[in-house]
Structure 1
Amino acid sequence: MTSKFDKQKFFSGKNYDELKAECLKNGSLFEDPDFPAAESSVFYTAAKQVKLDWLRPKVILTTEPQFIVQGATRFDIKQGGMGDCWLLAAMATLTQYPKLFGGVVPHSQSFDRDYAGIFKFNFWVFGDWKEIYVDDRIPTKDGKMIFLHSADVTEFWSALFEKAYAKLVGSYEAMDGGSMGEAYEDFTGGIAEEFDLADKPPKNLLGIMMKAYERNSLMGAAIIMPIQKANGEIDMRPMIRLRNPWGSEHEWKGKWSDGSEEWNSITDEVKKEIGLVVNDDGEFWMDFKDFSDCFNDLELCHLSPDNLEDRDPITGQPAKKWCMSRLDGYWRRKLNAGGSPTNPETFWINPQYHFEVIDYDEDDDKNEGTVIISLMQKDRRKLRLENRDNLVIGFIIFKMDGPASRPLSREQLHEDNAVEWSRTYTSAREICVRMKLPPGNIIILIITGHYCLVPSTYEAGDEGDFLIRIFSEKPVASGQIDDKTAIKECEDLATMSLRLAFEKITGKDGEMNAYQLQNLLKSVFSIGEKQVDGFSIETCKSLLAYRDRDVSGKLSFYEMKLLWDDVKFWKVAFDKYDADKSGSFNSYELREALYNLGISVSQSTFNALVQRHSSREDKIFLDDFLHLMARVMTMFGQLLVR
């Protein structure tokens, strides 16, 4: 499993293996320069910083420390002074999945064999597995560990695990507040789904939990099983096993609680089969109805196929697996950060992604397919150090008649045409929505089952990177809808007689150079029209080069006439798509103009054009636009057929 992890290199420029070998060779203990033993690694809020002692386990204990003592279990972990019980709960769940736990916490590490004061862990970071190393200096106060630690004082895997995660997100304080789903994802690469049980839980919640259980989704444990009572009766009852990371202080005291009369009526064989342990461990059982009534939220983490256990860790039966699609993207100001539908002029320029529901669920009587879509913003927790909060994000899904060869237009992406929403826009790291959609089929030659997913920030212009993942019971085809860099022919325009003006400027030579073209354009655009500022010589040279068929450096009258048709056509487009009549384009107006001129460019090409041809004020004037059009047409190497 380790082969898929990227070897981490921070400012030191070396990875774990190189650093450990260097320490062993020098007889030194590793000190991490990228996550130093300093208050700044604990708190990013200056007012909270206190003096701490960073001690290695061999100094904290009078006995020999151990990395893992007799295997890691969900009962190992005790919370400290940081508000990261969400992390603790996710870690406890992880211990129940040996394959997953071994991938995140490599077992080969120890405090005796080849000890060099350096330990490594593996985390899923926005789509890729990363190897994170730390030294083993742990923050203490009065010689005692102040954060997460193991119940066995000689065991240190959990404290070092927490330190590695703190390094990943920037500091210990950055972990103050979070969700189990977020941690589940970082430990497994899965997709987290949350249900509000206090508001309107789905009617088929038990079915959702059962399907999640069959696929080894992380949620503690949920199982329907026959309960055989001591009198021999069989009671089919949905039961939920839970664990409170704070211990037994707040255990359930109702039906099926530890020592209840319900458990006393169950045979010892059944108790042993389900692993019932009655002690002060914070673990307890509830029936499904009590669980639904008493809890506000349910978080599931569905595992990606490559990380899924081949067999159920409890029953030993072959595990069912989700199908997954992954799409990476970004929002950039002036390029594709169009904002939510509350920004109707720019929403359509957001990134667009096509996906097709190919088949329906096995047990679905409506012939629909389950699709779980996750939109996650990347690296925002680290940006707390820069006082930058999460973006407000969401997505909308539109129905398509078939696969799209180019992005949908502004009219097609009107919110009235949406078939699904992400419920609301949220500042959470991730928004995840489960939906049922009909699969692809052909009805009267109209292909259905094709959908366009449009992720966006709420405010236009907000920049960030994102990851989209689509989980489904059956395979789902997906991909970005982007323009290919190409050009289509446009209709001919009525020609204009320029011979008198042309001959007046060129004289006997009969050919026009760039400087003469500059004078001609200025004079023509000032007749019968609003005065246009002069055209730069760079623009005129590019225009000339575009229509200079014989590469003579000059234009014949025929070449000039073709160029003039182009310029007039582009000028009409400029006036039409200058929506605010400011005499200039912003990047959104430019994209719409190019789109309607029949010119398709990829996002990367469009970004390059904007950077090259916009002014310092991020405006594109007529001169800039004509220059851009000439360069684009020359780049394609095609002449329009008029």
Structure 2
Amino acid sequence: MLAPGSALTLERGWEKTGATGSLQNLKKFNNQDFNRLRAFCLNQGLLFEDATFPTHVSSIGPNLLLEDKLRQIQWKRPIELQKNPYLIMDGVSRFDIIQGELGDCWLLAALGSLTLQKQFLAKVLPQDQGFQDDYAGIFHFRFWQYGDWVDVVIDDRLPFLNGRYLSVHPRASNEFWPCLLEKAYAKLRGSYQNLHGGYLSDALVDLTGGVQVQLSLKDPPADLEEILKAADKSQCLMGCSTSGQMRRNIELRNGIVQGHAYTVTGTVKIRYKNGWKHIIRIWNPWGHGEWKGPWSDNSPQWDHVEPKCREALLRNKDDGEFWMSCESFQEQFSWLYICNGTPTFLDFGDQRSTTCRDVTNYFTLSPGTYVVVPATTEDQEFEFLLRIFLKNQDYNENSNSLPRPVLPMGSAIDASQLQQLLNEVILQDEMTSLGGRFSFDSCRGILALMDLNSNGQLTLQEFGSLWRSLTKYMDIFSKEDRNNSGFLDVSELKSAVQTAGLAANEQLLRLMTLRYGNADRRIGFSDFVCCMLRLETMTCEEKD
């Protein structure tokens, strides 16, 4: 990925190996130290006033409002608005957010997704602050900027116009984290005006330090449903947007807003009538205004869903969140954005993403030595941040990891080909081969579990998912087979199930050994894989 900056970060196996861009190397925006400034204010009995982002037109931006309205802006602290203000009440949620007059849906959509992924949220929103203890009118938030995490200090004076929030306002009147975080980001960007229109992809990266890709929904990849499911399972941040930049914020009769950004908050495959249906959950940063078509809150489609499932999924409130089918999603939205700390989504085909700010590209390369040369056109000089992610695995003499076969891009394999591949690799390992070869029937069973498209073949992406499971279960099998017999008995199987993070009671364990074990009720590796994949699928269905 190329972007302005000057650092080089090399990552192996999706794990960061250096300290570059970590919170340990946190940079102080405008050289302001939060702890030192707060301590000074507390010692002097003062409320912090930020001279670098003052209560002045320069912080709003000269062109955001008409001149007479700019003169009417008032700045108020939360303690002037509420008797008992809080930074956070009952946790952080997307439903805390209601977009204000400012056109920063792109930021708020990313922020809504951030609230769902606590591992990223903790980096952006430090917990060492609030209105109850050591309050001095000063707060700070962190954002990722071109290779570094930057700590941005603000005072808590918020802009109001005619008694209303100029920017985002919380659903609960005395919870202020959305307003203050937005102010910190406005300071980072130079003014509130600079948040009035932007790119969801930029905000996703700034809130995570991750890598993003954007997919056109007008020319979507064939495995879009699989991508959405994998991104949701991998805890990616996701958003989407509609077209119509010249008709921004125009709400259609079906409830969808043109030129607007939304958060993708979930995706699930549910039983519907006599089959299955893939539906997607989406949230509007306005905090209201929802899709009125199929799978909306009051649509008749929900009448054909099991009551228990319907109760778990359907939230019949005008809170801006709604469900829609994958087909409607592609019809109504133009772009899907996915972001994570590592580009897990690059498992899905040949993805390329280009914005005004960065370029993300994916390559499948043969082993060798390569030179990467960032270049610009017309002999212009720029600085670049170059991040390289290598999807590989380190092997050593004692490693039990499976070397993944190299399959041609776009290929698919059937049960017979899967059997040949598995046996060619498994038989190379003496211990796991003791339990016997993968039979054709077992491979048909595995394919049925992993074949999300139900076409009798595994795509490259589905095969990649299977191979990750095989590697994991081979490692578990080797550790639990303490006598190196090539088999697991009932007690070893129980321990293996627990190690895998799955659940099985004594009765189920006995049934598993009867179904998958030999005459001595011991399970070899090939049968162990079939057993664990089946148990994994059962566990996922129960969670859904």
Same fold (TM over 0.5): yes
Deviation sequence 1:58-116 (CA, Å, 0-9, x none): 1133x221111221111111111211111111111111112222221123422121100
For the pair 1:195 / 2:215, whether they are aligned, the reply is yes
Distance 1:226 1:143, change over 3 A: closer
Counterpart CA distance in 2 for 1:247 and 1:16 is 32
Matched, 1:464 2:382: yes
Per-residue CA deviation, residues 215-235 of structure 1 (Å, 9 max, x unaligned), is: 211112453434266xxx5x3
Structure 1 residues 423-462: Cα deviation after superposition (integer angstroms, max 9, x where no partner):
xxx6x112333x452432xxxxxx5xx55444333332x2
Say whether the 8 Å CA contact 1:58–1:65 is kept in structure 2.
Answer: yes
Contact 1:371 1:473 in 2 (8 A): no
**CA displacement at 1:463 relative to structure 2:** 2.7
Q: Distance in 1 between matches of 2:60 and 2:128?
A: 28
Aligned to 2:36: 18
The answer (yes or no) to whether the contact 1:60–1:144 under 8 Å persists in 2 is: no
- Partners of 1:205 and 1:438 in 2: CA distance: 24
Match of 2:50 among 25, 32, 47: 32
> How big is the shift at 1:213?
2.4
Report what 1:297 is aligned to: 335
The CA distance in 1 between the partners of 2:65 and 2:378, in whole Å, is 32
Aligned counterpart for 2:359 among listed residues 431, 445, 469 = 431
Displacement, 1:161?
0.4
- 2:193 pairs with 1:173: yes
The code of the aligned residue for 1:271 comes to R
1:143 is displaced (CA, Å) by 3.3
Q: How far 1:259 sits from its partner (Å)?
A: 1.5
- Cα RMSD, aligned residues only: 2.8
> How much does 1:322 deviate?
7.6
In structure 2, distance between residues paired with 1:298 and 1:281: 22
Shift in Å, 1:26: 0.4
Which runs of structure 2 are paired with 1:559-570 in the superposition (5 Å)? none
Per-residue CA shift, 1:304-339, capped at 9, x if unaligned? Answer: 39xxxxxxxxxxxxxxx689xxxxxxxxxxxxxxxx
Give the superposition deviation at 1:292: 1.6
Q: CA deviation at 1:141?
A: 2.0
Greater RCO between the two (CA within 8 Å, min separation 6)? 2
Distance in 1 separating the partners of 2:32 and 2:323: 48
Question: Is the CA contact 2:265–2:283 (under 8 Å) kept in the aligned structure 1?
Answer: no
1:68–1:2 CA distance, 2 compared to 1 (3 A): farther
Q: Does 1:246 align with 2:164?
A: no
> As a proportion of its length, which structure holds more helix?
2
Aligned residues: 346
With over 3 angstroms needed to count, the CA separation of the structure-2 counterparts of 1:9 and 1:169, relative to structure 1, is closer
Q: 1:215 and 2:234 equivalent?
A: yes
| Residue in structure 2 matched with residue 474 of structure 1 by the alignment | 392
Distance 1:475 1:373 in 2: 23
Residue deviations 1:14-36 (CA, integer Å, cap 9, x gap): 40000000000000011111111
Change (3 A) 1:472 1:281: farther
Q: Partners in 2 of 1:46 and 1:221 — Cα distance?
A: 31
Q: Against the structure 1 CA distance between its residues 372 and 131, is the aligned structure 2 distance closer, same or farther, given a 3 Å change threshold? A: farther
Measured in 2, the distance between the counterparts of 1:285 and 1:93 equals 16
From the superposition, tell whether residues 7 and 172 of structure 1 become closer, same or farther in structure 2 (CA, over 3 Å): same
**Which residue among 202, 219, 228 is the counterpart of 1:182?**
202
Q: Which moved more, 1:1-10 or 1:290-299?
A: 1-10
- Give the secondary structure class of the aligned counterpart of 1:23: helix
How far apart are the structure 2 equivalents of 1:204 and 1:108?
Answer: 43
Equivalent residues in 2 for 1:349-428 (5 A)? 428=356
Match of 1:515 in 2: none
SS of 2:58's partner is helix
Q: Distance in 2 between matches of 1:47 and 1:3?
A: 37
1:104-135 deviations in Å (ceiling 9; x for gaps)? 11234221211000001111111111111100
Which aligned pairs between 1:126-145 and structure 2 lie closer than 5 A?
Answer: 126-145=146-165
Structure with the greater alpha carbon radius of gyration: 1
In structure 2, the residue matched to 1:385 is none
1:148 to 168, 172, 177: 168
Letter in 2 for 1:469: R
Distance apart, 1:471 and its partner CA:
4.3
Out of 113, 131, 156, the residue aligned to residue 111 of structure 1 is: 131
Deviations 1:382-416 (A, max 9, x none): xxxxxxxxxxxxxxxxxxxxxxxxxxxxxxxxxxx
Tell me the CA shift for residue 212 of structure 1.
2.2
Contact 1:322 1:471 in 2 (8 A): no
Q: Tell me, yes or no, if the aligned pair for 1:256 and 1:286 is still in contact at 8 Å.
A: yes
Gaps of 5+ in 2: 1-20, 239-263, 395-544
- In 2, the alpha carbon distance for the partners of 1:371 and 1:469 equals 18
1:300-315 superposed matches below 5 A: 300-304=338-342
Query: Contact 1:371/1:471 (CA < 8 Å) preserved in 2?
Result: no
Judged with a 3 Å threshold, the aligned counterparts in structure 2 of structure 1 residues 171 and 203 are, in CA distance, closer, same or farther, namely same
Gap change, CA 1:453 and 1:212, over 3 Å in 2: farther
Cα distance change, pair 471–3 in 1 and its aligned pair in 2 (3 A): closer
**Distance in 2 of aligned mates of 1:7 and 1:128:** 7
SS at 1:100 equivalent: helix
Whether the 8 Å contact between 1:194 and 1:432 is mirrored in structure 2 is no
Q: What letter corresponds to residue 240 of structure 1 in structure 2?
A: I
SS across alignment from 2:338: strand
Shift of 1:237: 2.1
Q: Identity of paired residues, percent?
A: 38
Q: 1:469 deviation in Å?
A: 2.7
Deviation, 1:9, is: 5.3
Question: Structure 1 residues 265, 295: closer, same or farther in 2, change over 3 A?
Answer: same
SS at match of 2:271: strand
| Aligned ranges 1:222-241 → 2 under 5 Å | 222-227=266-271, 233=274, 235-241=275-281
Which one of 158, 165, 187 corresponds to residue 178 of structure 2? 158
C-alpha contact 1:322 1:473 (8 A) present in aligned 2: no
Instruction: Give, in angstroms, the shift of residue 245 of structure 1.
Output: 1.6
Shift of 1:271: 2.5
C-alpha change, 1:116 and 1:5, in structure 2 (3 Å) is farther
CA contact (8 A) 2:297 2:314 kept: no
| 1:571-610 alignment runs, 5 A limit | none
Aligned partner of 1:558 in structure 2 is none
Q: Distance in 1 between matches of 2:170 and 2:41?
A: 27
Is 2:92 the partner of 1:54? Answer: no
Partner-residue secondary structure (3-state), 1:67: coil
Pair 1:41-2:85 in alignment: no
Partners in 2 of 1:15 and 1:9 — Cα distance?
Answer: 8
- Residue in structure 2 matched with residue 206 of structure 1 by the alignment: 225
Q: Which residue of 2 aligns with 1:455?
A: 374
Q: Distance in 2 between matches of 1:475 and 1:246?
A: 44
Offset at residue 210 of structure 1 (A): 2.9
Q: Does structure 1 retain, via aligned residues, the 8 Å contact 2:213–2:352?
A: no
Shift of the alpha carbon at 1:468?
2.5
Aligned: 1:264 with 2:182: no
- Give the letter aligned to residue 306 of structure 2: T
Find the residue that maps to 2:282 and give its secondary structure. Answer: strand
Counterpart residue identity of residue 382, structure 2 = G
